[in-house]
Structures are given as C-alpha cells and as structure tokens.
C-alpha cells in the first residue's frame, strides 16, 4: 500500500497569523484517517490548502506521484479528490437531487454545444440520476429529493454535503466534520458506510472530526494537530494516550 | 379612422414591441436570473445589433440586388433607398435573405459587444462587474452620434423596407415575423435552462465556491452566457431597426437597460415564464402611459414628459419592497421527466 497523499512541510500565514507552521503528514491508500485538534489548530486551513482553495506559502503536496501543490480546485476535483465543507454550502435554489447531480463528473450535457442534442447526454444523465437516488436512499434523504436545498435543516444539509462528495467517484475524500449536527444513530451509520466503501472500493478517507466518541472505533489512524503543526500520528490508542495530545486539548 | 382600426393598430404595434423585448428579457434572464451575472450593459449589445444593421443593410441590399450606383448608402441614404426599395418590394426572397442575414449579423455584433464589455469584468464579482458593464453601455451612443459614416450621425439613416413586399399587409407581416422569432428564442432558452448546462449555471449563481470545488470552469460558463445573452440582444436590436425602418443614435438606457431589468424583476428572477409576464406587462404599461400622458397636461404638477419614468420607477420600488422575488416562481421539473423519450432502455 502506497502513500496516496503526502503533505511536506506546508506553511501558510494570514498576515501575522501562522495558520500552518510546517505541516508534514502522509495518508496511506485505502485507509480511514481522522484529523483532530483544538479549534484554531489549522485543520480546515490544511484542507483548503490541499484542495487548492488556498496556496501554501511554502511546502509541497503530492497525490500519488503527481505534485498538486498549486492546482486549482477544479483540477483537484477532476483528478479524483473530493472535499466537503465544514459549514454546509448548498445550491440553495436547487432541489436536493439536483444538488447531487451538479457533482457528477463529465456529464456531456454540461457543455453548451452538447446540451443542444439531448441524445448526447440523456444516458449519462439517467445514470447520474440513478446514482444520486441510491445515494439519497443511503443517507435517508429520499423524501427530500425534491425539496429546495435552502429549506433543509442543518443536519440534512450536512448529509447532502456527503452525498455530493459520494457522487464524485473520487479516490480520496477529505471530509470536514461530516457528522456534526447529525443524530448519533445516523452518524454511526455514516461511518459504517465509509468503512464499507473502503472495503468494497478501496477508497481513502481523511476526515476532520471532533466527535471521537463516534469516530474512533471506525478509523485506522489518527493525526493530531495543534498550533498549525502535527503533534502526533499513529493508531487511535497511541494518539489519544499521547501526553502532547492530552496537553493540547486540556493544557493551558 | 374607426376606433376598431385604431385599437388593432395599437395592439399590432404593441405585439411587435413585445416581441423585441421578449428577446432582450430572455437574454437578460439567462445572465442575471439563471447565472447571477448582473449585466447592466445590455444597451451595448442592443445598440450594436441596431447600428450594424443600420450601417450595413442599405449597402448589402445594393449588392444583393445588383444595383449600380455611385451614391453613398449612408450620406445619401434616402436617394439610395429610392433605388433599392421598389426592386426589393418585388423580390420577396431577397428580402427574406436580408432579414436572416441581419438577424445573424446583428446577433454577432451583439455577441461581440458582449464579449468586449465582459472580458475585463468576467472575473470580477457582483458590483464591479455591474459597474463595468454599465459603463460600456454608454460608449456606443457617443460613437454613433459623433462618427457620421457609421449611421449618419445624430439624424440616423433609414433601412431597406424588407417587409414591403406584403403591400398593405406589411404591418401585420412585420409583427408576425418578430413574434415568431421571439417565441422560437424563448422556447430555446426554456430548453437550455432544463439541461445539465442550465443546471450548472444555476449552481454557479447559487454558490460559486462550491461549484468551483466540483470542477466547474466558472469563467468559461460566465463568458458563454454573456455571449449568448448579448447575441440575443443584438438580434433584438437588429429586428427593431428593420421593423421601424430606421436607426438613430438615441438608444436610451431607460428603454434598453432599465425596462428589461424591470421586466425580469416583475416576472420573477430566474423564471423563464416570468419573462413573458414581465415583458408583456411593461411593454403594455409603458406604451399606454406614453400614449395617454398628454391627457394629463395641466392636471399633474410636473412636466408629463417624465410621467412614464416616474410611474415605472415607483412600480420598481414597490416590487422591490413587497415582492422582490417577482410574480412567477422559478419553475422546476424533475430531471427524470425532462429526459422524456430521448433515452429509453432497450
């Protein structure tokens, strides 16, 4: 098993604020890893830098053998990396089903010229609708299929975030607090599905998560951040007993 | 003239104006309502189509009809048309060719104007995009007035009578043709909105950042839509000149920017059907006000010249306060139904 994602010594500052202070971490293929850390430790910034929403001041990021350090979000998505947002961001005036359909890659109907001839895109669209319907069922959102996204509850929006990522058929999923605001039963189910996807399709997950009570039993590795740096990484047992981690969470 | 004849004339002329505005509003709705691009510079595209039609149609008619003359089609416009029009009236096919040609040329001129005005701005957001586009709208009028060889300066020029071959039915034919073109364009826009392309436009409108994270090339989509909307505006400008028989460099912001915005505002931003409602309502209202405003001379405490500006301005404010989403809701069809018979499993 190889290293799917390699982050090397990445630094990012916003003015005087050092959000990322030399982060180095690796994500192995076909693993489920969570990233923990107190608020302000730089977790979301790291996701933003990896997915092209921010450019790092220093450092390199590799996906497989390809360097993706200065790629745009569009290129990142097309190459097989999907991300979700911590604050759920919907296409408010589109129904839930269409929110998922936008995430579909390579739909010929999205080009102006090809959209003119329905035959060129009807099949792909039909398959995309099937896939989206299955994902909605998996997330328990089938009844909200035709509801405008802006009318959903916060928890439901979180699920649509995940659903959108699942539409992408990506190899690497970067999820930013995917189950915050979701009831515990469903949260467990979602994590169980994540494991299932890893088993069945060899998909890799890198998840920012606070709810250790739910997530810990599903993950292979834990990475811990504090003050813009990685302070521990290893198995769940190793990391949560690591004195540096305990101090970062509880210490002054 | 009998009352019924007056009414018929009023309605037929109204329908022609409605057709032109339907085309413009459809183009504007695609940009603002569907994609979230606040194009306040559609005047640029409308005038572009109008000016190129005014400037070139006489010249092209001379060429197509094989007329030998040394007269300049612009500076000696009336004289040239006295040669052109009688022949044109007896050659309907040439008239049709001219119409189709100038629909295309006007459309391309409009699209070019749209491209020019959007190129610096398409990467900008919201306010900055709007201001840039607004500024461009003013440029063409200034050029039209000052540069005489374009459309004859402030007086303008006439254009060949391409509906003249219908004799006494010219008036009705002109309106019919305009309506047919407008309805075709309206139906086409309705189709585009329901495709995955249309869905992506709406996604860009609703949340640009997420659309980017899903691999969509925002700039490319915006440019395509501005081009398409501007193409439609150019066609509308061209049609209006051919219908009116003349062009003058007085394309006012009120008529060709403010009114279309008001139409899509009333109709309901994003709703294609709303464009129909909005266009018809305001074309009718504006025309009625202009027609009857002289009845109010002396009654109102201000110059009635400004009456339609005032009334329509008040209506705009009322809509923005009480019903900003407009009359007609954004329509939505289940994507499954939309596929229809295009793909049946074998």
Q: Divide the 346 residues of chain B into consecutive groups of 10 and give the mean pLDDT of each group.
A: 85 94 95 88 89 89 84 84 86 89 94 81 67 71 79 84 86 94 94 94 94 92 93 95 88 83 83 87 87 76 78 86 79 70 46
- pLDDT value for B91: 86
Between chains, do B195 and A98 touch, taking CB under 8 Å as contact?
no
> Out of 1.10.3470, 1.20.120, 1.10.287, 2.20.28, which CATH number does the structure's domain B3-339 have?
1.10.3470
What residues of A are in the B interface, CB distance below 8 Å? Answer: 51, 53, 72-74, 77-78, 83, 85, 89-95, 97-98, 101-103, 105, 107-112, 115, 118-119, 121-123, 125-126, 129, 146, 164, 168
Between chains, do B336 and A129 touch, taking CB under 8 Å as contact?
yes
- pLDDT value for B342: 47
Place of tokens 């579909």: A104
Encode chain B in three state secondary structure. CCHHHHHHHHHHHHHHHHHHHHHHHHHHHHHHHHCCCCCCCHHHHHHHHHHHHHHHHHHHHHHHCCCCCCCCCCCCHHHHHHHHHHHHHCCHHHHHHHHHHHHHHHHHHHHHHHHHHHCCCCCCCHHHHHHHHHHHHHHHHHHHHHCHHHHCHHHCEECCCCCHHHHHHHHHHHHHHHHHHHHHHHHHHHHHHCCHHHHHHHHHHHCHHHHHHCCCCHHHHHHHHHHHHHHHHHHHHHHHHHHHCEECCCCCHHHHHHHHHHHHHHHCCCCHHHHHHHHHHHHHHHHHHHHHHHHHCCCCCCCHHHHHHHHHHHHHHHHHHHCCCCCCCCCCCCHHHHHHHHCCCC
- Same domain? A20 vs A61: yes
Give the span between the Cα atoms of A211 and A12, in whole angstroms.
Answer: 26
- pLDDT value for B346: 41
Give the span between the Cα atoms of A234 and A246, in whole angstroms.
Answer: 15
Is A105 inside a domain boundary?
yes
What tokens appear for B101 in the block? Answer: 């040609």
- Could you read off the pLDDT of A191-224 as tens digits, one per residue? 888 888 888 888 999 999 888 888 888 999 999 9
Residues of chain B with C-beta less than 8 angstroms from the C-beta of A91 = 202-203, 206-207, 210-211
- Could you read off the pLDDT of A34-66 as tens digits, one per residue? 999 888 888 999 999 999 999 999 999 999 999
Give the span between the Cα atoms of B27 and B177, in whole angstroms.
Answer: 19
Give the span between the Cα atoms of B293 and B291, in whole angstroms.
Answer: 6
Confidence of residue A152 (pLDDT cuts 50, 70, 90): very high
- pLDDT value for B343: 46
- Same domain? A192 vs A245: yes
Residues of chain A with C-beta less than 8 angstroms from the C-beta of B196 = 101, 107-110, 115, 121, 125
- Count CB neighbours of A252 within 10 A: 3
Distance from CA of A95 to the nearest CA of B (A): 9
Provide the mean pLDDT of chain A.
90
How far is CA A211 from its chain centroid? 16
* Domain extent listing, chain B: 3-339
Confidence of residue A74 (pLDDT cuts 50, 70, 90): very high
Is A36 inside a domain boundary?
yes
Can you tell me whether residue A152 is helix, strand or coil?
coil
Query: Domain range holding A143?
Result: 91-151
- Could you read off the pLDDT of A88-125 as tens digits, one per residue? 899 999 999 999 999 999 999 999 999 999 899 999 99
CA angle B183, B189, B190 (to 5 degrees): 90
Distance from CA of B273 to the nearest CA of A (A): 17
| CA pseudo-torsion sign B24, B27, B31, B32 | positive
- pLDDT value for B345: 47
Is A224 inside a domain boundary?
yes
Between chains, do B197 and A122 touch, taking CB under 8 Å as contact?
no
- pLDDT value for B13: 92
Place of tokens 């339907």: B22
User: CATH code at A185?
Assistant: 3.40.50.300
- Same domain? A137 vs A147: yes
- pLDDT value for A56: 93
A49: CB partners within 8 A, 6+ apart? A10, A12, A20, A55, A56, A61
- Same domain? A44 vs A60: yes
- pLDDT value for B294: 75
Mutate: best of A47, A75, A78, A91, partner B, most B CBs <10 A: A91
- Same domain? A136 vs A210: no
Residues of chain B with C-beta less than 8 angstroms from the C-beta of A125 = 196, 335, 339, 343
Is A160 inside a domain boundary?
no
- pLDDT value for B211: 94
- pLDDT value for B66: 84
Per the structure, how many domains does chain A have?
Answer: 2
Q: Which helix (H) or strand (E) holds A237?
A: helix A236-240
Give the span between the Cα atoms of B25 and B273, in whole angstroms.
Answer: 11
Q: Which residue has the higher pLDDT, A247 or B188?
A: B188
Q: Which helix (H) or strand (E) holds A162?
A: helix A154-167
- Same domain? A56 vs A103: no
- pLDDT value for A217: 87
What tokens appear for A96 in the block? Answer: 């839930």
Percent of chain A's residues with pLDDT above 90: 58
Q: Residue A173, class by beta-carbon neighbours within 10 Å (0-12 exposed, 13-18 middle, 19+ buried)?
A: buried
Mutate: best of A73, A134, A152, partner B, most B CBs <10 A: A73
Please give the average per-residue pLDDT across A222-245, as a whole number: 89
As for the ipTM of the complex, it is 0.88
User: Considering CB atoms only, which of B196, B330, B336 is closest to A93?
Assistant: B330
- pLDDT value for A133: 95
Give the span between the Cα atoms of B184 and B199, in whole angstroms.
Answer: 21
Distance from CA of A50 to the nearest CA of B (A): 12
């Amino acid at each position: 098993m190889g290293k799917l994602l390699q982050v090397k010594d990445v630094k990012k500052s916003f003015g005087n604020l050092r959000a990322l202070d030399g982060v180095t971490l690796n994500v192995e293929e076909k693993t489920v890893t969570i990233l923990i850390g107190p608020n302000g430790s730089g977790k979301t910034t790291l996701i933003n830098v990896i997915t092209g929403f921010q450019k790092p001041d220093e450092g390199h990021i590799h996906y497989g053998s390809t360097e993706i350090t200065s790629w745009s979000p569009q290129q990142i998505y097309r190459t097989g990396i999907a991300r979700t947002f911590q604050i759920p961001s919907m296409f408010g005036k589109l129904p839930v089903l269409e929110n998922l359909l936008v995430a579909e890659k390579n739909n010929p109907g999205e080009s102006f010229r090809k959209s003119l001839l329905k035959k060129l895109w009807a099949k792909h669209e039909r398959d995309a609708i099937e896939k989206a319907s299955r994902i909605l069922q998996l997330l328990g959102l089938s009844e909200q299929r035709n509801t405008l996204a802006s009318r959903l509850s916060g928890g439901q929006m979180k699920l649509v975030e995940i659903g959108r990522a699942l539409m992408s058929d990506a190899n690497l999923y970067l999820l930013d607090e995917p189950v915050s605001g979701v009831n515990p039963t469903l949260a467990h189910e979602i994590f169980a599905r994540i494991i299932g996807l890893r088993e069945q399709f060899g998909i890799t997950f890198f998840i920012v998560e606070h709810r250790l009570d739910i997530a810990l039993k599903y993950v292979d590795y834990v990475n811990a951040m504090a003050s813009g740096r990685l302070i521990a990484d290893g198995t769940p047992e190793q990391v949560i007993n690591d004195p540096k981690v305990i101090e970062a969470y509880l210490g002054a | 003239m009998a009352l019924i004849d007056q009414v018929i004339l009023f309605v037929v002329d109204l329908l022609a104006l409605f057709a032109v505005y339907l085309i413009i509003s459809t183009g504007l709705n695609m940009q603002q309502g569907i994609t979230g691009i606040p194009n306040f510079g559609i005047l640029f595209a409308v005038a572009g189509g109008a000016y190129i039609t005014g400037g070139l149609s006489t010249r092209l008619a001379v060429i197509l009809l094989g007329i030998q003359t040394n007269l300049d089609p612009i500076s000696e416009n009336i004289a040239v048309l006295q040669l052109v029009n009688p022949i044109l009236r007896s050659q309907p096919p040439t008239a049709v060719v001219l119409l189709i040609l100038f629909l295309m040329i006007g459309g391309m001129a409009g699209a070019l104007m749209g491209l020019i005005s959007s190129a610096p701005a398409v990467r900008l957001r919201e306010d900055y995009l709007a201001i840039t586009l607004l500024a461009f709208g003013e440029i063409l009028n200034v050029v039209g007035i000052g540069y005489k060889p374009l459309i004859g300066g402030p007086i303008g020029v006439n254009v060949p009578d391409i509906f003249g071959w219908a004799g006494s039915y010219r008036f009705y034919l002109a309106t019919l043709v305009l309506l047919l073109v407008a309805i075709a364009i309206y139906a086409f826009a309705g189709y585009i909105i329901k495709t995955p392309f249309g869905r992506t436009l709406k996604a860009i409108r609703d949340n640009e950042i997420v659309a980017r994270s899903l691999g969509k090339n925002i700039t490319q989509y915006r440019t395509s839509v501005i081009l398409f909307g501007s193409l439609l505006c150019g066609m509308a400008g061209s049609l209006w000149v051919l219908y009116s028989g003349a062009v003058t460099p007085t394309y006012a912001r009120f008529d060709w920017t403010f009114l279309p915005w008001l139409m899509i505002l009333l109709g309901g931003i994003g709703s294609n059907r709303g464009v129909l409602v909005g266009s018809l309502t305001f074309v009718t209202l504006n025309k009625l006000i202009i027609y009857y405003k002289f009845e109010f001379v002396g009654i109102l405490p201000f110059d009635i010249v400004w009456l339609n500006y005032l009334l329509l301005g008040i209506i705009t404010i009322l809509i923005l306060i009480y019903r900003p989403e407009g009359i007609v809701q954004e329509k939505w069809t289940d994507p499954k139904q939309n596929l229809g018979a295009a793909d049946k499993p074998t």
